[in-house]
Amino acid sequence: MSSPEAPLKGAERIAAYLKTLPDAPGVYRMLNGAGDVLYVGKAKSLKKRVGSYALRGAHNERISRMIAETTEMLFVTTASETDALLLESNLIKRLKPRYNVSYRDDKSFPNILLREDHPFPQLLKHRGAKTIKGVYFGPFASAGAVNRTLNTLQRAFLLRSCSDSVFESRTRPCLLFQIKRCSAPCVNRIDLGGYHELVEEAETFLKGKSQAVQDELKAEMTKASDAMDFEAAAKLRDRLKAMSHIQSSQGVNPATFEEADLFALHSEGGHTCIQVFFFRAGQNWGNRPYFPRHDPDLPLGEVLESFVGQFYDERTPPSLILTSEALPDSTLLAEALATRAGGKVEIATPQRGEKREIMERAMTNAREQLGRRMAENSAQTQLLEGVADAFGLDQPPRRIEVYDNSHIQGAHALGAFIVAGPDGFEKAQYRKFNIKSEELAPGDDYAMMREVLSRRFARMVKEEAGASDQGPDTGKWKRPDLVLIDGGPGQLSVACQIFADLGVEDVALVGISKGPNRDAGREHFYIPGREPFRLDPKSPVLYYLQRLRDEAHRFVIGGHRKKRSAAIGANPLDEIAGVGANRKRALLQHFGSARAVAGASLTDLASVGGVSETLAKKIFDFFHPGG
């Protein structure tokens, strides 16, 4: 009896697909025997591109390794090569294949929003979908950059930052008016016309016409000074000073372009840093470093091109993109980004002039940032090696999760975990859990830990069981190498039982309890099967573990405070369908409080403006379910 033939692999397996592949644009995925995606690529012609992999001896070492590991391929045809490029960028960003350029993406960038859905527009920080009516300015590189700019804008233009509910309930000016950061329209310290002049000035300034605004204010200040209205002149002087502060704090402000994103790359020792600078309205609105993972043999132009494509997968590109390296397929990428932007997008590599000078400064920034990163990673690597030695792990952990709970006598109970690894704290991976069990006794820390761990690791087990071609590290609930529990033998016993029930193996469990009198440096560590032990009070590893525990404590305490504050400010009217912000306001103004609304008769409810008889009945039934 003949033995079954071994499945095809490598170039032979790839060649087998050529008979059925079309001569059309599309995207292909190369998978290994475990179903992990090795590589995602695009092609103008799938047949020709995939056929090139079947040619022996025509590839470098990286491509040869990738081909040798390939046991299966998946294909998607597209209407055009541009569509293929957009799909490729999306899949690389989502799947993070080993042989592609990939990077850890951040949440959306913050903007400044000047709301236009209120008679007195509000100036505030905004992150996420642009669904609120108004004028958006951004993106800014960080929330800190937005906050600093907002604080100075308030001094320069005196626009309100309070919410509508606070605005409508004020009876006297708030502290911001006292420190000259608001014009107090809430209590009529400025009329509608005067406020709208401030709004127009702020909008003009943020659109890049700052000099015109400053010239106008200087003329007004001179006029007030000549009229001996020194108080008004002093206010205008302070506003001008605030505007100058905004411009000076932004560093490089270009004169030859108004809107652009700049990508500066520096590579060294197989590691790469890409600094992204944002320029809007002729002003520098900050920068942020990224450290993409890629094969060291990959040309830097290809690294940057792949990064730029992924960067704009869910972001709107500006009209000009400046890159430190020439991109191999810049024309096609520009066409794809223009489709996303709904207008022309130019990609350029500056060679001379102001753009080149700014690029060189950005490249210097990237080089210095990479140097700091490599130094930090070296120290971080040593700490993780120390953790492995202390806890008897086979290798340094790449993902550490630290768990903690918070409550006040059982009320508003919350559990959470933080994540750390070779790159430090991974804040995008932090998670909170509202304790849902109604049978939980107040203050039962063991039951809280049981619920949190059960929910977290049950999701991981379910996700791993359903994983197909996305690889082991692409899901939402990734498997940790080490789990630290803030607690002693009792909490550790709960964790061990949960792992046993769910069949979770190959995850190290360690409990860390505070020392006598809660003294830092005298912590005890608990590992299943080992006697409790302590580390040298001066050990860098102990300091590192304390930082992890303290970060988990900070995160869960912050979440608990927000939950408690939300509960304090909760209003039962918010739970009634059909009672929106306007009707809620009308009810509270008519009756004075939610308790008075609850005690009102059906007739009284129906007498409120905007409340129909049907809605009055719904409100009455909500507060009187039995009657």
Task: Check residue 471 and give its pLDDT.
Answer: 45
254-257 — which CB contacts under 8 Å span 24+ positions?
A: 254/279, 254/282, 254/284, 254/354, 254/355, 254/358, 255/282, 255/354, 256/353, 256/354, 256/355, 257/282, 257/320, 257/355
Domain coordinates of the chain in residue numbers? Answer: 11-95, 111-249, 260-372, 400-567, 572-623
| Both structure tokens of 73 | 């391929």
Q: Which CATH class is domain 260-372?
A: alpha beta
Measuring CA to CA, which residue among 310, 244, 253 is closest to residue 277? 253
Q: How far is CA 528 from CA 106, 327, 422, 491, 507, in A?
A: 36, 54, 25, 12, 12
Computed from CA positions of residues 149, 150, 154, 155, in that sequence, does the dihedral angle turn out positive or negative? negative
Among 1.10.150.20, 3.30.70.141, 3.90.79.10, 3.40.50.300, what is the CATH number of 572-623?
1.10.150.20
Within a 13 Å sphere around the CA of 448, how many CA atoms are in the beta-carbon half?
28
- For strand 320-323 and strand 260-268, is the pairing parallel, antiparallel, or unpaired? parallel
Task: Check residue 470 and give its pLDDT.
Answer: 47
Q: Are 388 and 373 contacting, i.e. CB atoms less than 8 angstroms apart?
A: no
Q: Who's near 51: CB < 8 A, 6+ residues apart?
A: 15, 18
Residue with tokens 């302590």: 534
CATH topology classification for 400-567? Nucleotidyltransferase; domain 5 (3.30.420)
Domain 11-95: CATH superfamily is: GIY-YIG endonuclease (3.40.1440.10)
| Both structure tokens of 270 | 């197989």
Measuring CA to CA, which residue among 483, 507, 474, 459 is closest to residue 401? 483
Cα separation, 91 vs 581, whole angstroms: 41
Bridge partners, residue 267, by sequence: 272
Cα separation, 526 vs 532, whole angstroms: 5
Task: Check residue 1 and give its pLDDT.
Answer: 44
Measuring CA to CA, which residue among 490, 524, 491, 496 is closest to residue 509? 496
Computed from CA positions of residues 579, 582, 583, 584, in that sequence, does the dihedral angle turn out positive or negative? positive
Asked whether this chain's domains 260-372 and 400-567 adopt the same fold, the reply is: yes
Residues of the chain with pLDDT under 70: 1-7, 106-107, 208-212, 242-253, 407-412, 437-443, 466-475, 515-521, 559-560, 563-571, 626-627
Q: How far is CA 160 from CA 170, 237, 251, in A?
A: 12, 20, 27
Q: Are 381 and 463 contacting, i.e. CB atoms less than 8 angstroms apart?
A: no
